[in-house]
Amino acid sequence: MALKAVKKGWSPETWVSLRPFGLGLQKPNNFFEVFRALAENADNLEYAWRILQDGVCDGCALGTSGLRDWTIEGIHLCNIRLRLLRLNTMGPLDIEQLADVERLRSKSSAELRALGRLPYPMRRRRGEPGFTRISWDEALDRIAWKLCKTPPEKMGFYLTSRGTPNETYYVVQKAVRALGSNNIDNAARICHSPSTVALKASLGVAATTCSYRDLIGTDLVVFFGSNPAVNQPVMMKYLYYAKKAGTRVVCVNPYLEPAMQHYWIPSDPESALFGTRITDHFFRVQPGGDSAFIAGTLKHLIEQDCLHHSFIAEHTRGFEEVKAQVLATSWEELEQLSGVSRAEMLEFALLLAKAEKAVLVWSMGITQHASGEDTVQSIINLGLARGYLGREGSGLMPIRGHSGVQGGAEMGAYASVFPGGVPINPETAAALAQQWGFPVPPQPGLTVTEMLEGSLEVLWSVGGNFLETLPNPAQAEAHLAQVPLRVHQDIVLSSQMLVEPAEEVILLPTTTRYEIPGGCTETSTERRVIFSPEIPGPRIAEARWEGQVFQEIVARMCKPELSQKVRFADTAAVRSEIAQVVPLYDGIQHLGQKGDAFQYGGPHLCPDGVCPTPDGRAQFRPVKLPANPVPEGAFRLVTRRGKQFNSMVHEATDPINGAPRDAVLMDVSDLQKLGLKPGQRIWLHNAFGTLPVTVFPADVFPGSVQVHWPEGNVLLDPKLRSRQAKIPAYKEVYVYIHTQPPPQSPHSNAAAAG
């Protein structure tokens, strides 16, 4: 049965309000974002327009070519892309401002970025007050000299995912392995690494199995722990058309996200005027309770005989073991662990039973737990039980938040896999060495968190900011301060660059994706590999592409016969080699103009239910339900996003719900229980830190609180990570609430303790 058609004309049944443009309601002003971008980029407006018109968006991973995409007609443009635009158009900073870093320490990350682009290589040695300019030759000679003296296991390399293209990932990881190390990681580690692990184990694939088009006109779309209104705003336009086609939308989350209830799409007259009701059904689960909620739903589907029996029999294995485990779990346990009633689980099960087609979407609300891989597996089990795989209108979609994150692991910029997502072991290392023509280290390397804990002698960070992205910033800073040589390669300043050198810190200016000679590619959430051309415009004279820099390092350190094997004439040569080494990417070698793209694997992976596993079948896997008990008087804490892109905070107040950055979102029942009032100053405290916050009533799960990330990192356990992917547990910790600045005891005088 084909997807349902989008209804023509207006649909008053989906309107939020008759107030034109939602005047007086709490909502983002997306029209203001356009005027803001015009003013912010006024000194480089022509170049900014060319970036928007011809470039591939460097924001989220939905993927564009200029202002168009492959899912809908019309303009593809969002406030995130407009906010990031200035990073690409700003001029150089005045290096005199780096002469004394003390003057910079009080500045926020946004203020540091606003100073301008890094114009030259800079160096700061221990005891020096600030940075001084050095030449590229001196910088590369210093780095190469130190790396030559460093054992491979004592060097570490990290790449962020904002704007980082496939070619950069590929060249950097190849260079690092030519140096004898697998200690390379990227931002996918702290986002969707549990999704990669679970999908690969069950389906033999490590990406979304469907396309964005499958959202529009399917029967049901379910969002688990995901808020695309904040992180992938154009997806709300997809959902607007989905609603007009009759698609029902379900959200499973500890917080009833306001923008997932209703949203105003500025590029559509109907939605811009009256708004669009998005979510039809909301299930408020306990933080970390998703697996239990899904297990209860599956139990109902089994008891109601609403399974896709033929799909299970013909295309899967392991179902009976999962069935036995689910049926053996009592309803009392499922209700306790999920925070959701048996009746609500039945309601969700019946929605699935009526949906012949459905897309199950999830994000970091699912993955950023110690049991992240198991929760993703629960979603996979649910999708397999209903046959939502390998056909139109159905699929499993781990939605990505960064334009470069999908390609990072697929290019091999990962401590645990080679290019193509191939696991690292002696056999695969030997095969890759045969292709590359030089020895490749055969053992997995250190993940980013392990690097900082591992007494590195050299740490090279391409982008990123560990002081904002990792749990326990004070500990992260202490680890950074112990590394003898730190290399920070970026387009702008970040606070981690200002950490005192153990011996030496070198800053290297890099290009944006739009400045890379010859253009580059990114891979979107739906596996679409898209060419982003080089955009003519002003340049930072001494900024260099990261791939070029790593090639030059290898040339300085290795014999000519080895360095030539890591030398590429241009990015087209990189793409040609990617096509040979990563079979999924065959086709990337033909991309070279604006609009060039292909979707690896086609619209649907596992077509007709046939998976790239040894027997062609998908694997059900039993899931141990996490208990995660909380001590009496404590609250579960979840970190969340506001008006920001990753750790880059854009506004002090979230325009969607009105919460300031220092807000703690609490259910009204908890406020009444503790005698707290909106706007009251309180303190969240646990064994890892203290965070002063302001009470903000919100529709969150009772007994839990939410704070903004990265501010909430001070309260996280830096040692708590998932078992396989080793993702930090950003959404799994408990805190005590204090009405006065707390003493050392984590619960003495806590409000919750009376």
Residue 721 pLDDT class (50, 70, 90 cuts): very high
Return the pLDDT at 230.
84
Nearest 10 degrees: Cα torsion 75, 77, 82, 88: -80
Q: Nearest 5°: phi and psi at 196? A: -60, -45
330 within some domain? yes
Q: How many domains does the chain have?
A: 4
Residue 588 pLDDT class (50, 70, 90 cuts): very high
User: 55 and 513 in contact (C-beta within 8 Å)?
Assistant: yes
**What DSSP string describes 287-298?**
TT-HHHHHHHHH
pLDDT averaged over every residue in the chain: 94
Return the pLDDT at 28.
85
**What is the tens place of the pLDDT at every residue in 669-702?**
999 999 999 999 999 999 999 999 999 999 999 9
**What DSSP string describes 40-95?**
HTGGGHHHHHHHHHHSPPSSSSS--BTTB-SSSSS----HHHHHHHHHHH--B--G
Q: In this structure, what DSSP letter does residue 590 have?
A: G
425 and 449 belong to one structural domain: yes
- Looking only at the bridges linking them, the beta strands covering 458-462 and 155-159 are parallel
Q: What angle do CA 41, 46, 50 make, to 5 degrees?
A: 105
The more confidently predicted of residues 377 and 234 is 377
- Domain boundary, last residue among 89, 119, 146: 89
722 and 708 belong to one structural domain: yes
Return the pLDDT at 552.
97
Identify the bridge partners of residue 686 per DSSP, sorted by sequence position: 689
- Domain boundary, last residue among 367, 398, 429: 398
14 within some domain? no
- Write the CB contacts of 31 (distance below 8 Å, at least 6 apart in sequence): 266
Question: Does residue 410 carry a pLDDT above 50?
Answer: yes
Structural domain for 700, as ranges: 635-753
Q: For residues 541 and 558, what is the distance between their CA atoms, to the nearest angstrom? A: 28
Q: For residues 8 and 319, what is the distance between their CA atoms, to the nearest angstrom? A: 42
The more confidently predicted of residues 123 and 63 is 123
Question: Does residue 449 carry a pLDDT above 50?
Answer: yes
676 and 718 belong to one structural domain: yes
82 and 99 belong to one structural domain: no
Q: For residues 553 and 139, what is the distance between their CA atoms, to the nearest angstrom? A: 10
**What is the tens place of the pLDDT at every residue in 340-374?**
999 999 999 999 999 999 999 999 899 999 999 99
Q: Which tokens sit at 72? A: 């809908």
Q: What is the CATH number of the domain that holds 436?
A: 3.40.50.740
Nearest 10 degrees: Cα torsion 455, 458, 463, 465: 30
Identify the bridge partners of residue 693 per DSSP, sorted by sequence position: 682
702 and 716 belong to one structural domain: yes
Identify the bridge partners of residue 92 per DSSP, sorted by sequence position: 117
At which residue do the structure tokens 């094997």 appear? 565
271 and 393 belong to one structural domain: yes
CB atoms within 10 A of CB 574: 26
Q: What angle do CA 664, 670, 674 make, to 5 degrees?
A: 95
Tell me what the mean pLDDT of segment 508-528 comes to: 96
667 within some domain? yes
User: 403 and 522 in contact (C-beta within 8 Å)?
Assistant: yes
Return the pLDDT at 21.
87
605 within some domain? no
Q: In this structure, what DSSP letter does residue 11 have?
A: -
Tell me what the mean pLDDT of segment 434-458 comes to: 95
Q: For residues 745 and 687, what is the distance between their CA atoms, to the nearest angstrom? A: 8
Q: Percentage of the chain with pLDDT > 70?
A: 98
Q: Nearest 5°: phi and psi at 564? A: -65, -25
Return the pLDDT at 75.
85
132 and 148 belong to one structural domain: yes
Tell me what the mean pLDDT of segment 228-245 comes to: 91
Q: For residues 634 and 685, what is the distance between their CA atoms, to the nearest angstrom? A: 10
Q: Percentage of the chain with pLDDT > 90?
A: 85
Q: Nearest 5°: phi and psi at 346? A: -65, -40
520 and 494 belong to one structural domain: yes
The more confidently predicted of residues 230 and 122 is 122
Q: Which secondary-structure segment (H or E) carries 488?
A: strand 485-490
567 within some domain? yes
**What is the tens place of the pLDDT at every residue in 549-565?**
999 999 999 889 999 99
- Domain boundary, last residue among 528, 561, 594: 594
Reduce the DSSP state of residue 600 to 3 states and report it: coil
Tell me what the mean pLDDT of segment 17-34 comes to: 88
User: 308 and 385 in contact (C-beta within 8 Å)?
Assistant: yes
518 within some domain? yes
Q: For residues 563 and 586, what is the distance between their CA atoms, to the nearest angstrom? A: 25
Residue 753 pLDDT class (50, 70, 90 cuts): very low
84 and 103 belong to one structural domain: no
**What is the tens place of the pLDDT at every residue in 256-273?**
999 999 999 988 899 999
**Alpha helices by DSSP H, 331-394:** 331-338, 342-354, 364-367, 372-385
Residue 233 pLDDT class (50, 70, 90 cuts): confident
| Lowest-pLDDT range of 150-154, 288-292, 385-389, 645-649 | 645-649
Q: For residues 11 and 72, what is the distance between their CA atoms, to the nearest angstrom? A: 18
Residue 61 pLDDT class (50, 70, 90 cuts): confident
303 and 319 belong to one structural domain: yes
User: 575 and 412 in contact (C-beta within 8 Å)?
Assistant: no
User: 331 and 292 in contact (C-beta within 8 Å)?
Assistant: no
Question: Does residue 751 carry a pLDDT above 60?
Answer: no
327 and 416 belong to one structural domain: no
**What is the tens place of the pLDDT at every residue in 43-56?**
999 999 999 999 99
Return the pLDDT at 752.
43
Reduce the DSSP state of residue 186 to 3 states and report it: strand
Question: Does residue 402 carry a pLDDT above 80?
Answer: no
Closest residue by Cα to residue 257 from 710, 728, 665, 715: 665
Closest residue by Cα to residue 506 from 452, 462, 555, 554: 462
Q: What is the CATH number of the domain that holds 264?
A: 3.40.228.10
The more confidently predicted of residues 293 and 232 is 293
Q: What is the CATH number of the domain that holds 740?
A: 2.40.40.20
**What DSSP string describes 611-652?**
-SSTTS-EE----PPP-----TT-EEEEEE--SEETTEE--S
Reduce the DSSP state of residue 295 to 3 states and report it: helix
Return the pLDDT at 750.
52
185 within some domain? yes
Q: Which tokens sit at 139? A: 């910088």
Return the pLDDT at 754.
34
Q: For residues 299 and 378, what is the distance between their CA atoms, to the nearest angstrom? A: 12
Identify the bridge partners of residue 552 per DSSP, sorted by sequence position: none
CA distances 210 to 192, 207, 389, 392, 421, Å, are 17, 9, 8, 8, 19
Return the pLDDT at 749.
44
| Lowest-pLDDT range of 425-434, 539-548, 635-644 | 635-644
167 and 152 belong to one structural domain: yes
The more confidently predicted of residues 207 and 60 is 207
- Phi-psi domain of 705 (left: phi exceeds 0; alpha: psi -120 through 50; beta: other): beta
Return the pLDDT at 2.
66
Single-letter amino acid code for the residue at 226: S
Q: For residues 375 and 366, what is the distance between their CA atoms, to the nearest angstrom? A: 6
48 within some domain? yes
Question: Does residue 398 carry a pLDDT above 50?
Answer: yes
